[in-house]
Amino acid sequence: MATYSRLPGSVALITLQNPPVNALSAAVRQGIVDTVQRALKDPKVTSVVICGQNGRFCGGADIREFAGPMLGPPLVPMIHAIEAVDKPVVAAIEGVALGGGLELALGCHYRIAHSKALLGLPEVTLGLLPAAGGTQRLPRLIGLTAALDLITTGRHISAAEALKLGILDQVTDSNAVDLAVDFVRSVAGQPLDSRRLSTLACPCPPDVDSLLDKVMAQVRQRSRGALAPVACVQALRAAATLPYTQGMEKERDLMATLFNSGQARALQYAFFSQRVVGKWSLPSGANWNNSTGRTISKAAVIGLGTMGRGIVVALALTGMSVVAVETQEKQLAEASQAVPAMLQREAGRRSLATPPGVITFSSNLQDVSEVELVIEAVFENMALKLQVFRHLASVCGPGTLLCSNTSGLDMDQLAAVTKSPALVVGMHFFAPAHVMKLLEVVCGPRSSPEAVATAMQLGKRMGKVSVAVGNCPGFVGNRMLKPYLEQANFLLEEGATPQQVDEALEEFGFPMGVFRMSDLSGLDVGWRIRKEAGLTGPGVEPSRTRQGRRYSPLPDQVCEAGRLGQKTGRGWYQYDGPGGRVARSDPWVHIFLEAYRAQHGLVARSIAPEEILERCLYALINEGFNILQEAMAAGPEHIDAIYVFGYGWPRHRGGPMFHAGQVGLGRVLERLEHHHHNHPDVPHLEPSTLLRRLVAGGSPPVQKWREFINKDRVHSQL
Ligand SMILES: CCCCCCC/C=C/C(=O)SCCNC(=O)CCNC(=O)[C@H](O)C(C)(C)COP(=O)(O)OP(=O)(O)OC[C@H]1O[C@@H](n2cnc3c(N)ncnc32)[C@H](O)[C@@H]1OP(=O)(O)O
């Protein structure tokens, strides 16, 4: 709703009320229509201020309403009516003015904001465009070039930037509503024609077409199949080339196409998934709402390889003191040079004037005795990690939280060698750890609610999307990745090339296919993990069946040939020397694959992109169903957030579990059965019991899966 009050000096104050972000629900829109009418009709009112309750102007249209029929007054005529009012209307912006919230403010005649306010048109991130006149008013106010940037990226900008761009008329460090009230009194009676943005011409650079073509090309390249950014450019072309009314028609038509698209549904699902995962719970009943984490002010990181360095930077950026320990002198010397530079760069990228935290480098484990939390980030080797944990147990007090940055090892085994197993949790970071948004918080069977809450809160402080997961090999992300990678290798055995596999996955929307990604991260990484699992290495039988199932030794052989990827200039592709970035097809790989197939009596066949996608993606999704059934992830949203934020799953496809629902669970089941029939020696292709149950239960939408999962769970860790 919206409340109305009359202030001294003939000012009407309209306050939007819909906590927590004053989203423009049907009730709020009705409230605005009614209160604006009242202000218009009241002869004692000469001017109007619109603000939001609780220091938040407006977070935009109410996204939850998009799932059902749109009721209540529509936004476009509501904003148009405000613009047409013949008394000055000022938007007093505190907190946020996003999406429809900013569009509402653009319909006002003036905009005044608090210096800490954030503004933006993020509709593109929800698969939409600013269809309440935003694509037509903003370019008329700030020019085509700046509007293209804001609308196609959806980025939030500070009040200072908004002032510079001309979106705001004034910015204050004090109360924005008070200033707006004073301001509107001072402009009462002045002509408003030039303040009505819909009546202005759109300032454009001389060569509009080439600018629009350039931006369209950039957007298509960046968005990898996403529809909304392309529609935004089309709407802005209309703003630049057509009268306002026709531009609005174009905006409406483009929105109509986007609004009901699968991509919009996927992106809105991704928005809510990101928020759902913060609300973790454990089988004991402990959850985000009833458990208190510790506030950490001093932490340590053990091991200063690539991961450890990134973790130090991520921690330091929160402002805490960090003891960074590395026992190898050479590595320590390199890290103490590299880490401050990384910190400086990252602080700059986040527009922080000075890097906040204090880092102390040390080669002595004893130096962590005073910290409140330790993150071990040594090599992924259980014996080594156990050694470090035993050492930490003797050096640190019994109340210190001990965390491991493992990508899949048993946290309970590590907890067992400490004095307080309840204070042990996994914190699985993704490289580069100071940049990547995902953090898997691994809850062992003995991890206490306090330990989980502390790790989840710390993740949030570091700006991560933290997802609580259960303690199983590979946790959630890497466990699902295994069958995906395995299928990619099998496809090479059967006749595909690395390019064909990568192209199919990149066409789907991944930023990189599996082989390009493997070259980037280094083939030795996977090789070491497989060696640790006893799948490869000296003494392991070199057959295509290992540990009772089909195995492809192809990546081991490429790695053992010294082809470690980009860092050696050769891997699945060739590069212009070590460290090169541009992947080119390598005749060596094709000869190698032919020789391998001949050696094993395999006849190459032509493989369609559809089969590549089905085999790789459905094997991964199938493992997701097993994970849900075993309660290693609390719900499909958790898996989807992990894949979107940690594994490059295209956001406009929602995540693997959401995607399965979009494809149709029956279809996914049928294709898995088909591929399993053709490859009975691949257990990962055998459809999960949960998937079968969901299909038998009528393939409910993803939001309803939990009802089935809870009936079907085999263990319960989350
Ligand atoms: C044919 C129809 C035509 C319609 C015309 C359409 C034109 C306009 C379209 C839009 O405006 S689309 C919406 C654009 N706005 C956004 O994208 C903003 C989304 N929200 C945020 O970015 C953040 O929530 C925030 C506003 C920056 C606040 O962040 P904070 O970290 O403080 O809180 P959160 O945990 O994110 O959110 C709290 C709570 O509020 C819910 N929520 C937030 N925004 C909306 C919204 N616009 N609609 C509905 N609900 C919203 C969020 O889900 C959280 O809820 P819970 O998870 O706690 O239940």
Distance CA 618, CA 620 (A): 5
Cβ of 119 closer than 6 Å to ligand 1, yes or no, is: no
**Domain membership flag for residue 302:** yes
Query: Token match 């003891």: residue?
Result: 323
Tens of pLDDT along 417-460? 999 999 999 999 999 999 999 999 999 999 999 999 999 999 99
Q: Which two tokens stand for residue 321?
A: 């003191």
Cβ of 131 closer than 6 Å to ligand 1, yes or no, is: yes
Tell me whether the omega of the peptide bond preceding residue 130 falls within 30 degrees of 0, making it cis: no
Among 259, 275, 304, the domain-final residue is 259
Cβ of 342 closer than 6 Å to ligand 1, yes or no, is: no
User: Do 431 and 521 fall within a single domain?
Assistant: no
Q: Do the beta carbons of residue 152 and residue 122 sit within 8 Å?
A: no
**Domain membership flag for residue 276:** no
User: Do 354 and 445 fall within a single domain?
Assistant: yes
User: Do 426 and 520 fall within a single domain?
Assistant: no
Active site residue 346: no
Beta carbons within 8 Å of 486's beta carbon, 6+ residues apart: 552, 619, 682, 684
272 Cα nearest atom in ligand 1 = 53
Distance CA 622, CA 618 (A): 6
Distance CA 72, CA 62 (A): 12
Cβ of 20 closer than 6 Å to ligand 1, yes or no, is: yes
**Domain membership flag for residue 266:** no
| Strands 298-302 and 373-376, bridge-based pairing | parallel
Distance CA 689, CA 292 (A): 36
Complex ipTM, two decimals? 0.99
**Domain membership flag for residue 489:** no
What local confidence, expressed as pLDDT, does residue 418 receive?
97
Query: What's the CATH code of the domain at 99?
Result: 3.90.226.10
Distance CA 56, CA 240 (A): 32
Residue 213: Cβ within 10 Å count: 13
507 Rama sector, left if φ>0, alpha if ψ -120 to 50, beta otherwise: alpha
User: Do 63 and 212 fall within a single domain?
Assistant: yes
More confident residue, 394 or 356: 394
User: Do 562 and 693 fall within a single domain?
Assistant: no
Among 544, 567, 599, the domain-final residue is 599
Distance CA 559, CA 575 (A): 16
Cβ of 123 closer than 6 Å to ligand 1, yes or no, is: yes
pTM: 0.95
What local confidence, expressed as pLDDT, does residue 715 receive?
57
Q: What CA–CA distances, in Å, run from 323 to 367, 370, 528? A: 7, 10, 28
User: Do 74 and 136 fall within a single domain?
Assistant: yes
Tens of pLDDT along 22-64? 999 999 999 999 999 999 999 999 999 999 999 999 999 999 9
pLDDT confidence bin for 134, thresholds 50/70/90: very high
User: Do 326 and 459 fall within a single domain?
Assistant: yes
Q: How far is C-alpha 350 from the geometric centre of its chain's CA atoms?
A: 17
User: Do 412 and 311 fall within a single domain?
Assistant: yes
Q: Which two tokens stand for residue 199?
A: 């009546």
- Ligand 1 pocket test, candidate residues 25, 63, 138, most atoms within 8 A of CB: 63
User: Do 250 and 142 fall within a single domain?
Assistant: yes
| Count of domains forming the chain | 4
Q: What CA–CA distances, in Å, run from 235 to 209, 232, 504? A: 14, 5, 30
User: Do 544 and 633 fall within a single domain?
Assistant: no
Nearest CA to ligand 1 atom 6: 131
Q: Do the beta carbons of residue 583 and residue 544 sit within 8 Å?
A: no
Q: Do the beta carbons of residue 251 and residue 132 sit within 8 Å?
A: no
Tens of pLDDT along 326-335? 999 999 999 9
Rg (CA), the chain: 28
pLDDT tops 70 at residue 712: no
**Domain membership flag for residue 77:** yes
- Ligand 1 pocket test, candidate residues 16, 21, 62, 275, most atoms within 8 A of CB: 21
User: Do 519 and 463 fall within a single domain?
Assistant: no
Distance CA 479, CA 296 (A): 30
Q: Which range marks the domain in which residue 654 is found? A: 609-717
User: Do 531 and 593 fall within a single domain?
Assistant: yes
Among 452, 470, 488, the domain-final residue is 470
pLDDT tops 80 at residue 717: no
256 Cα nearest atom in ligand 1 = 1
> Distance, CA 512 to ligand 1 centroid (Å)?
30
Catalytic residue among 65, 83, 94, 123: 123
Q: Is the dihedral of CA 403, 407, 409, 412 positive or negative?
A: positive
Active site residue 103: yes
The pLDDT mean for the chain works out to: 96
What local confidence, expressed as pLDDT, does residue 713 receive?
63
